[in-house]
Amino acid sequence: MEKIGQKMKRPKRIKSCNRLFLRVIPVGAVAVFAFFLFTSTLLALFEDLGIGAKGPSMGNALVAAVNDINAVHYNPAGLAKVERSEITASHGLLFTGLSDGSDIGSSNIAFAYPLGKEKAFGILYNRLSLSGLYSESTIQVSYGRRFRQNLLSNFLFGGSLKYLNHSFTKTDEAYDAMDGINATNEIDPVLVGDNSKSAFDLDLGVLWEISKKYTFGIAVKNLMQPNMSFSGGNDPVSMKVRAGLSHKSLWMLLCAQANFEKAPSGNIDKSFTLAVERIFPSLRKGNFGARSSLSFGDRDFKQITAGISYKLNKIGLDYGFVMPIGTVKAITGNHRFALSYYFGGPTVEEQYAAEVLEQFKKLKEKSDYESTRNIASLDDKRLKEVQNKVKEGDFRQANLLIMEKAKELLPDSSVLNLAKRIALVARFYPVLGPNQSQKTWEKHLRKGIGHLLRGNDSKAIKEINFAQSLNQEDMALNTFLDKAEELTHVKADRVPGDFKGGYVEYLFYESDMLYNQKKYKDAVRKLHKILEFEPSNLTALKKLGSCHYLMENYSLALSYWDKAFRLETNSRERKSLMAVIKQAKKKTGSWESGVLQEKGKKVYDAAKIEKLYRLGADLYLKGEYGKAADIFRKILTLDPQNGRAKKALERILRLR
């Protein structure tokens, strides 16, 4: 028999399930379950071993840190943070290395599905088996959501309904009962009775988002404490309470959790866990992760864990290792393996991470990036013939001509760099005349090529990427974009392959997600990208006005809504826009020209001020803050009490 910790004490009353283990389960397995029963902070019945591999590798300390499929098990309130559908399957090898070869395994599969804005449901099937002799299974349905009322906006709530079942296999020992020491050759009433028991149970959970980085969570598991006795006695599932605090940054997660539940002696067992996760991101090679935890508690409970993960695009692989300290001897620990698949596009957090990595990459490669942009101008008199062929769209001939010129102009590296770019275009589009097609995607492709050959790399990639989003089935165009990215060191903001729509539609999708999360500045950034391609997009103008209004940038909101009003042709929409424009004007402290002015010269001044303000707002939107500030100062010389100009000037000064 495996050795058990010396401080283990057996209670006076042996429950029916304990009696079962001693009769039908191999010796090594008895040691393990004795560990569960008497030395752990948990009871044997429906032991909380976690799901997947991430949770166990962090000591199951995720009650305050769930925003993915793990919420189904650890805290159903976290389902409200799930932004896309996920599925995961895992298997665990528990207490490996037992001398009698006992096989203790745990398998589960879970699925989470968002039902809309900040609400989702999940399902979970979990099974524990012991050498084919004893098994426990749980089927549960979970739901979590956020209530956007003022007092509850930072709280998320969730619950799980569970169906529990455990059973054992009847063996020959059932007809040869023991009196505690010797066999009696009598029938054991427990082992020949019902060998299966089922019941319903309930879990509840709450998350409190204290700030953007800190979250407090609490979950109550097995709230109904159903009686799972095989023999009709009293053998309830122990209620468990988990409370924790998490700190989350972009690539780091820290967790602290306290666990409470009723011990076999009737006292409340307490244990505490500290856990950490660190992600090592990569733009091209996927994300690697490392995890670890330390747990300690009553009755000499100690445990260490570790784990690793790898995620590439929509597939995630996880491994977790759990080792109890000073209890069950001569084992090689618990090993957990999990495979996950993520449906849909990247989450908001993943988009942020990708953008940060891209900026870091640009900084790292700045010198190389600068050198590749050192290209000769097509306006160079020495390249007149090349310029003419480019204008005609005959890139094949332009490529041949510039290669000849490059030989004459060596060692001019700028000419070589231009030659590389023309060669790239000629490889995919030998002839692309200016009037070849009127399709939208080809217009943007031609614009992108023009920027590429003039060294305007960011604009080039934007235009080519937009063209590709409008013609996603064109593999040549997709490859051309790949090569242009490599050449310019500028990464395109691509539309995910499984998104049904073009670039503009995807930007709207992203901005709506950010808007719903009250990240208005980030939503504005996405909407500005739309206006770069469609300056008169009514929907984008209206949404920009709404974002700025909610950020209390009333002057900018007024500017966007005014542009939308001038473009809108639907009478009902014009009426709605007029209503919000009036509301924005009230906020800025000004009405339409002439409403609060006297007749004569002051009416002319008000019209002039309005014209100047719009000019200043346009300059601000273009990022020309110095010129915009001069305009607003000029307004204040004409009207020192102009509230809109004062606020706009203050905003610019804060930016500086």
- pLDDT, tens only, 327-343: 666 678 899 999 999 99
Contact present, 403 and 416 (Cβ < 8 Å): no
Nearest-angstrom CA–CA distance, 457 and 439: 23
- Look at residue 529 and tell me whether its pLDDT is greater than 50: yes
Average the pLDDT over each of 39-48, 321-330, 588-597 and give the range with the smallest value: 588-597
> In a 10 Å sphere around its CB, with 0-12 CB exposed, 13-18 middle and 19+ buried, how is residue 172 labelled?
exposed
Share of the chain above pLDDT 90, in %: 30
What was the pLDDT predicted at 183? Answer: 65
- Look at residue 25 and tell me whether its pLDDT is greater than 70: no
What was the pLDDT predicted at 22? Answer: 39
Share of the chain above pLDDT 70, in %: 80
Measured at the CA of 270, the angle between CA 77 and CA 39, to 5 degrees, comes to 120
List Cβ neighbours of 137 (8 Å cut-off, separation of 6 or more): 125, 126, 127, 128, 164, 165, 166
Task: Give mean pLDDT, residues 549-561.
Answer: 85
What was the pLDDT predicted at 539? Answer: 92
Task: Give mean pLDDT, residues 20-39.
Answer: 41
- Look at residue 263 and tell me whether its pLDDT is greater than 60: yes
**If pLDDT is split at 50, 70 and 90, which confidence band does 458 have?**
confident
- Look at residue 249 and tell me whether its pLDDT is greater than 90: no
What was the pLDDT predicted at 332? Answer: 83
Residue with tokens 């962090």: 58
Nearest-angstrom CA–CA distance, 279 and 311: 10
- Look at residue 32 and tell me whether its pLDDT is greater than 50: no
| Nearest one of 418, 302, 543, 414 to 401, comparing CA atoms | 418
**If pLDDT is split at 50, 70 and 90, which confidence band does 179 have?**
low
Amino acid (1-letter code) at residue 645: A
What was the pLDDT predicted at 35? Answer: 39
What was the pLDDT predicted at 173? Answer: 66
Write the pLDDT tens digit of every residue in 338-359: 999 999 878 877 876 777 677 6
> In a 10 Å sphere around its CB, with 0-12 CB exposed, 13-18 middle and 19+ buried, how is residue 92 labelled?
buried
- Look at residue 473 and tell me whether its pLDDT is greater than 80: yes
Tokens representing residue 356 in the block: 């940060």
**Residue 129, SS3?**
strand
What's the mean pLDDT when you consider all of the chain?
A: 81
Write the pLDDT tens digit of every residue in 192-201: 666 789 999 9
What was the pLDDT predicted at 6? Answer: 32
**If pLDDT is split at 50, 70 and 90, which confidence band does 205 have?**
very high
**If pLDDT is split at 50, 70 and 90, which confidence band does 217 have?**
very high
| Nearest one of 427, 438, 356, 365 to 396, comparing CA atoms | 427
What was the pLDDT predicted at 365? Answer: 53
Q: Pick the residue with more confidence: 55 or 35?
A: 55
Alpha carbon distance, N-terminus to C-terminus of the chain: 74
Average the pLDDT over each of 56-60, 75-79, 437-441, 613-617 and give the range with the smallest value: 437-441
- Look at residue 264 and tell me whether its pLDDT is greater than 80: no
Q: Pick the residue with more confidence: 465 or 174?
A: 465
Write the pLDDT tens digit of every residue in 381-428: 888 888 888 888 888 888 888 877 766 665 567 777 888 899 899 999
Contact present, 315 and 340 (Cβ < 8 Å): yes
Question: What φ, ψ does residue 370 adopt, rounded to 5°?
Answer: -65, -40
What was the pLDDT predicted at 63? Answer: 97
Three-state helix/strand/coil letters over 262-319:
ECCCCCEEEEEEEEEEEEECCCCCCEEEEEEEEEEECCCEEEEEEEEEEEECCEEEEE
What was the pLDDT predicted at 193? Answer: 62
Q: Pick the residue with more confidence: 205 or 549?
A: 205
| Angle subtended by helix axes 384-392 and 395-409, to nearest 10 | 160
Nearest-angstrom CA–CA distance, 289 and 353: 14
* Domains contained in the chain, CATH given: 16-344 (2.40.160.40), 353-488 (no CATH), 512-655 (1.25.40)
Average the pLDDT over each of 170-179, 302-311, 363-372, 602-611 and give the range with the smallest value: 363-372
pTM, two decimals, is 0.55
What was the pLDDT predicted at 274? Answer: 97
Q: Pick the residue with more confidence: 165 or 608?
A: 165
What was the pLDDT predicted at 322? Answer: 94
What was the pLDDT predicted at 488? Answer: 86
Write the pLDDT tens digit of every residue in 589-616: 654 433 333 334 443 356 677 778 878 8
Task: Give mean pLDDT, residues 267-281.
Answer: 93
